[in-house]
Amino acid sequence: MAREIHVFTDSDFRWEKLTFTAEATYKPSVYTAKLSVRLAQELPDEDREALEQALIRILEERLKSDFKRMIEDTEESDGFLETGALDRLSDRLRRYVQRAVKRYNLQAWDSGID
């Protein structure tokens, strides 16, 4: 039977001109998810807000849930996940972000978990 874990996020989000950056740390793990999105041109406020909310939701809800499930299902030790678990989480983050940004005109985007 899997153990019940509570995962808490410590998040930081900001816009700097056309670039949105976000970080979320998932405690009790030692990992931080990061993403960055650079717009090709200014978006209307409504679209900019929708993009921001979609990206925040990825970090604070979807990936948090994935971290929780992964920590509960693996032999996590001192905040570290088993080999391969971090790669699977990074791949999920990449897919989530790719889907969220596909309708926007972007110059670049990046995501990862440290």
Domain of 100, in residue numbers? 8-113
For residue 2, being part of any structural domain is answered with no
Q: How far is CA 37 from CA 25, 47, 113, in A?
A: 18, 14, 15
Number of domains composing the chain: 1
pLDDT at 75: 64
At 72, the pLDDT band (50, 70, 90 cuts) reads confident
For residue 56, being part of any structural domain is answered with yes
For residue 44, being part of any structural domain is answered with yes
For residue 65, being part of any structural domain is answered with yes
For residue 16, being part of any structural domain is answered with yes
pTM for the predicted model, two decimal places:
0.91
Q: Which of 38, 43, 40, 8 is nearest to 25 (CA)?
A: 8
For residue 22, being part of any structural domain is answered with yes
What mean pLDDT value characterizes the chain?
Answer: 92
Q: What is the 3-state secondary structure (H, E, C) of 30-55?
A: CCEEEEEEEECCCCCHHHHHHHHHHH
For residue 60, being part of any structural domain is answered with yes
